Amino acid sequence: MIKKILAIIGGIIGFILLLIIIAGVAVIMIVDKPFIENQMRKALNRQVQIGDIDVGIFSIISGVEIKKVVISNYKTEKQLEALRDKPVAPGDVFVSAEAIRLKLKFLPLLKRQFQLRELVLYGPVVNIARGKGGGFNFDDLTQPKRLTPEERAELEKKKAEEAKEPKKPLTADDIPVSVTVGEVGVKNGVVNYYDGQFDQRFQVYKLTALVYDIKLDPKDLANNNSVKIKVYMGVRTVGPVKTGSVESFDITFDVNGGAKIFDVNTRRLEPEIALHAGSPEGQITGLQIFNTIAGNQVIGKYLGDALSFLKGKQSWKGSKLAYVDVWYKAGLAKLSNGNLKLQECRLLFDGAYNTYSKGLDVNLELELLKSRNEAVRVGLRRQIQSGLKRLGVDKYANEEKIVDAALKPLLNKNGMIYMKFKIAGTTSKPTATLTFPQLGSIDDIIKQVAGDVLIEAGKQAGKKLIEEGGKKLLKKLPKLF
């Protein structure tokens, strides 16, 4: 009996090995460099150059690796024929990659299980260009192919049938198998973008974007409906920015979190994402929100240009200085625990951002470092001097006492200047309303300390009378004796 069982097990193992070998031979026969290059050339209408393909009999288990891939910009059939077997010119590269790795588990497919260990693009460089007319260098890839009259008629018929029945949203029940994925994405990539309409350049560098530990089982959605997310990248301007909500920037992002793929109750595809987004290092100039705060009319009348430093270059370095937690679903991003510590101030924020309308609804707290107190005092003093002249008491008032009185509502318990704002509008046209403290005008502050002003004026007048009287007495002394 045991021998029969062992024989059956041995037969099963042998059969599985045979399947693996057959599949491996098929892979070797189908997945070769000329075949892949030709298929990609036809599909993309571009030159395709592959350095090497690492494939063997057991590639069905170990995976396939394609090395040194280079793809050109769009070419006509005549150009492709003329460039056959020639390398892609360095200035004509659309996409290049150090390697593409695919590792798919074969045996689970027999059990209606899709298990992918890895599908990762290593070291890609993507060059995107937008022409002066508004077209992109990848538009040909997004346009539908030319159809024959028969194909067009079939397509119109299909559209008419779909129009009769509303398109159903994708649900978990439409997934026929359970899905397990190790990691999918990009590692150490670069994206260069040139906008010909505005003659501007941007770059994404050190790009690593991965979704990993994907677990999806339509039969057990409550426990298997998740994906983890990791993104690290730098984004910077190359040269000055001529349009948009900033002048220049160079910011790194470190994002970690996860998502629920389907809504558990409706079972519809409606991702719910929760992320912790940090920025280990960055610098930015001319951010519209900062410009709006610095240009707030209430603050301008009270402090003058004391917050104008916000319009200049702001920088930070350290993952604990810039971060925010983000929750996203159906176009609404909720922000919480937001923190940005700059060289001269700190900002705390929370609120919401609509990704469709670009609308903002954010509460922002601004705390200036004590090193900024003197600059604020200077701004206040100028405003107070102007107010005293208007009221005609500039000769008698004690400016510093009035400055102290005007500064007091701005200081928190730590002696730092502290304000709260409500940020609304859109990212390109934000508004900033001061909600704390409630500031009046400088003239109001002067009137509030009018008693001190009058007392000081009385002292000055009395002193003057005494001095004048003393001088007269000294003149009369010789005659008295």
Structure confidence at residue 241 (pLDDT)? 72
Structure confidence at residue 301 (pLDDT)? 85
Split at pLDDT 50, 70, 90, the class of 182 is: very high
Split at pLDDT 50, 70, 90, the class of 104 is: confident
Structure confidence at residue 391 (pLDDT)? 76
The pLDDT of residue 19 is above 60? no
The pLDDT of residue 143 is above 90? no
> Which is more confident, 306 or 419?
419
Structure confidence at residue 123 (pLDDT)? 94
Structure confidence at residue 478 (pLDDT)? 45
Q: Distance of CA 198 to CAs 73, 194, 241, 242, 278, Å?
A: 21, 9, 9, 7, 30
CB 98 within 8 A of CB 123: yes
CA–CA gap between residue 291 and residue 392 (Å, rounded):
34
pTM over 0.95: no
CA–CA gap between residue 25 and residue 405 (Å, rounded):
86
> Domains of the chain: which residue ranges?
2-286+308-335
CB 322 within 8 A of CB 341: yes
The pLDDT of residue 403 is above 70? yes
Structure confidence at residue 456 (pLDDT)? 52
Split at pLDDT 50, 70, 90, the class of 401 is: confident
> Which is more confident, 478 or 382?
382
CB 251 within 8 A of CB 234: yes
CA–CA gap between residue 435 and residue 423 (Å, rounded):
10
Chain-centroid distance of CA 151 in Å reads 42
CB 224 within 8 A of CB 178: yes
The pLDDT of residue 197 is above 60? yes
DSSP 146: P
Alpha helix locations (H) across 31-121? Answer: 33-44, 59-62, 77-82
CB 176 within 8 A of CB 219: no
Structure confidence at residue 13 (pLDDT)? 36
Split at pLDDT 50, 70, 90, the class of 443 is: confident
The pLDDT of residue 5 is above 50? no
The pLDDT of residue 84 is above 90? no
Kindly report, residue by residue over 271-291, the tens digit of the pLDDT.
Answer: 999 999 999 999 998 889 999
The token duo for 122 is 């290593």
Written as one letter, the residue type at 221 is L
Structure confidence at residue 212 (pLDDT)? 95
CA trace torsion 367, 373, 377, 378 (10° rounding): -110
Q: What is the mean pLDDT of the chain?
A: 82
The mean per-residue pLDDT over the stretch 74-89 comes to: 90
CA–CA gap between residue 368 and residue 382 (Å, rounded):
20
Specify the residue for token string 């090193």: 371
Structure confidence at residue 17 (pLDDT)? 39
Kindly report, residue by residue over 406-436, the tens digit of the pLDDT.
Answer: 899 999 999 999 999 999 999 889 999 999 9
The token duo for 350 is 């929370």
> Which is more confident, 471 or 442?
442
The pLDDT of residue 347 is above 80? yes
Spell out where 310-356 has E strands. 313-317, 322-329, 332-341, 345-354
The token duo for 346 is 């700190």
Residues near 434 by beta carbon (within 8 Å), at least 6 away in sequence: 296, 298, 299, 419, 420, 421
**In terms of DSSP bridges, do strands 313-317 and 248-262 run parallel, antiparallel, or are they unpaired?**
unpaired
> Which is more confident, 451 or 81?
81
The pLDDT of residue 23 is above 50? no
Structure confidence at residue 460 (pLDDT)? 53
Written as one letter, the residue type at 473 is L
Chain-centroid distance of CA 56 in Å reads 42
Q: How far apart are the first and last CA of the chain?
A: 148
CA–CA gap between residue 437 and residue 417 (Å, rounded):
10
The mean per-residue pLDDT over the stretch 255-260 comes to: 96
Structure confidence at residue 223 (pLDDT)? 93
